[in-house]
Amino acid sequence: NAGVTQTPKFRILKIGQSMTLQCTQDMNHNYMYWYRQDPGMGLKLIYYSVGAGITDKGEVPNGYNVSRSTTEDFPLRLELAAPSQTSVYFCASILPGEAFFGQGTRLTVV
């Protein structure tokens, strides 16, 4: 039981490049979330999903896209990277009473 797996752990992007942050969970949870954490700040909700085929915007969705074709996978896509997207990104799989976070992806846009 691996829990929540995020890849990559680190990435440097140039302005305007695109990339996909991968998130996979093996617990068959319906609820999955993507957050970003800026230095010294709390976690801000980007997108979330309550099940395969269903996604919703969070607090800061601009510049990101998600998809949820399976229960296990919830990738986050950056289409045109901007310096403001430099942050640490966390994926989470959550049930009431349980929350499992990935190790985080530290993204720098230069």
Classify the phi-psi angles of 53: left when phi > 0, otherwise alpha if psi is within -120 to 50, otherwise beta: left
Binding of residue 78 to another protein (CB under 8 A): no
Binding of residue 39 to another protein (CB under 8 A): no
Separation of alpha carbons 63 and 84, rounded Å: 10
Quote the least distance from Cβ 109 to another protein, whole Å.
19
Q: Which of 12, 50, 80, 82 binds another protein (CB under 8 A)?
A: 50
Contact between 76 and 34 (Cβ < 8 Å) = yes
Binding of residue 52 to another protein (CB under 8 A): no
Separation of alpha carbons 45 and 55, rounded Å: 13
Residues that bind another protein (CB under 8 A): 31, 33, 35, 41-45, 48, 50, 54, 56, 58-59, 88, 90, 92, 94, 96-99, 101, 103-104
